[in-house]
Chains A and B, each alone.
Chain A
Amino acid sequence: MLDFAFWLSETEWSIALHESLYLYPWIESTHVLSICLFFGTLLFVDLRLTDKVFNNLSISEMNRKVLPLTVFGFLVMSVTGLLLFYAIPVRNYQNIFFRIKMILIVVAGINAFFFHRRMSKEALVWDKDSSIPRSMKNSAITSLVLWSLVIISGRMIAYNWFDCDRQPQPRWINELTSCEVDYSLFEGIDGF
């Protein structure tokens, strides 16, 4: 994987992206704005499913109105996110917050998959007798918590706190981030 990241970083477009004067900041800004659209609309869908707010709107009505925006936000967010990774592959790949974020996205994705599969089948039933199953409420809250954590860990990627350039770091951190470190440099330093 690290070799692949190095190979990616040498490709023509990756260099053009990370050296660009305007494109990179534009992509970065678009990424942040699309996160706002995605998470902002997701908030409505998920909060409605907790059955505490927006009760005057049925679940299927809410989904029909809001979910297309969420999906659009998600698509733009994913494309710009991939481009941001492609611009700086090695540093991102070795960034601990990036790795945490990717794991959280997978977990949030699995939650969303089961959540939507069930919702598409049963939303009309819940509309009628206004009884949302407990597990769906939990799933909605889980979704909000997970996506919040995704955003927070994404923000943390900017910090170099556990980057490979910053040594000495505990071995387990260097292993978690696939850093290649010459430990002989650390001899005589307290704690190593």
Chain B
Amino acid sequence: MRNILGYIVFLILFAFSHTINSHHAFTAEFDANAPINITGKVVKVEWINPHAWVHVEVQIESKTTIWMIEGGTPNTLIRNGLTKNSIKPGTLINVRGYQSKGKLCLPRCIANGRDITFPDGRKVFMGSSGTGAPRDGSDPKER
């Protein structure tokens, strides 16, 4: 009886072990099958725990869309080489990532950012590993 109970507890813990190491699971909010690749100007940076948000204004023909890109914590971003001052409003960036499950973009589009590329070609990983996000090779620490 005690063994069976232990086994059940183990199974439950095992089932949740994937979500324990992350703040919130990638799959709860984002769509791994909806990769995005956008280029635009930074309009606002929310340098906040537990996730920073970079707002990017994307202009395609005459249509302007604001994208809210979720990044890691300020701590992980700084470790990756991204500071509050390196993505000041007005900076032109290219972002690759994955769109949220809801895709109506009301009032803004939401996405999980994987990496940012600056006009000089510098590429910085901006996501968090181990959140269940697709392993697409953009995280240099990923094994």
Tell me if B75 and A186 are in contact (CB < 8 A). no
Residues of A152-166 at the interface with B, using a CB-CB cut-off of 8 Å, are: 158-161, 165-166
A88, CB-defined interface residue at 8 Å: yes
Contact of B75 among A21, A87, A189 (CB under 8 A): A21
Given contacts A21-B75, A189-B104, contact A158 B24 (CB under 8 A): yes
Known: A21-B78, A158-B24, A168-B104. 12 other contacts (CB 8 A): A18-B48, A25-B73, A28-B49, A88-B49, A158-B23, A158-B50, A159-B29, A160-B24, A161-B28, A165-B108, A166-B102, A167-B107
* Size category of the binding interface on chain A: 20 to 34
Tell me if B68 and A165 are in contact (CB < 8 A). yes
Please, which residues of chain B bring their CB within 8 A of the CB of A28? 49-50
B110, CB-defined interface residue at 8 Å: yes
Tell me if B50 and A24 are in contact (CB < 8 A). yes
CB distance from B112 to the nearest CB of A (A): 11
A residues in contact (CB < 8 Å) with B? 17-22, 24-25, 28, 87-88, 158-161, 165-168, 182, 185-186, 189
Please, which residues of chain B bring their CB within 8 A of the CB of A88? 48-49
> Which secondary structure dominates where chain B touches chain A?
loop
Given contacts A158-B24, A159-B29, contact A168 B49 (CB under 8 A): no
21 example contacts (A-B, Cβ-Cβ < 8 A) are as follows: A18-B47, A18-B48, A18-B49, A19-B47, A19-B48, A19-B74, A19-B84, A20-B74, A21-B74, A24-B49, A25-B49, A25-B75, A88-B48, A158-B24, A159-B24, A161-B28, A165-B108, A166-B100, A167-B104, A167-B106, A185-B106
Mark interface residues in B51-77 (1 if CB within 8 Å of A CB, else 0): 000000000000000001000011100
Tell me if A159 and B28 are in contact (CB < 8 A). yes
CB distance from A32 to the nearest CB of B (A): 11
Given contacts A25-B73, A158-B24, contact A165 B110 (CB under 8 A): yes
Tell me if A182 and B107 are in contact (CB < 8 A). yes
Please, which residues of chain A bring their CB within 8 A of the CB of B48? 18-19, 88
CB distance from B26 to the nearest CB of A (A): 12
Interface centre among B24, B28, B47 (most CB of A within 10 A): B24
- Bound complex: CA of A129 vs CA of B99, how far in Å? 64
- Bound complex: CA of A19 vs CA of B52, how far in Å? 9
Please, which residues of chain B bring their CB within 8 A of the CB of A21? 74-75, 78
Residues of B101-139 at the interface with A, using a CB-CB cut-off of 8 Å, are: 102, 104, 106-108, 110
Tell me if B49 and A186 are in contact (CB < 8 A). no
Mark interface residues in B81-108 (1 if CB within 8 Å of A CB, else 0): 0001000000000000000101010111
Q: Give the 9 A-B residue pairs with the shortest CB-CB distance, closest first.
A: A24-B49, A167-B106, A18-B48, A158-B24, A21-B75, A19-B47, A185-B106, A159-B24, A18-B49
- Bound complex: CA of A160 vs CA of B112, how far in Å? 13
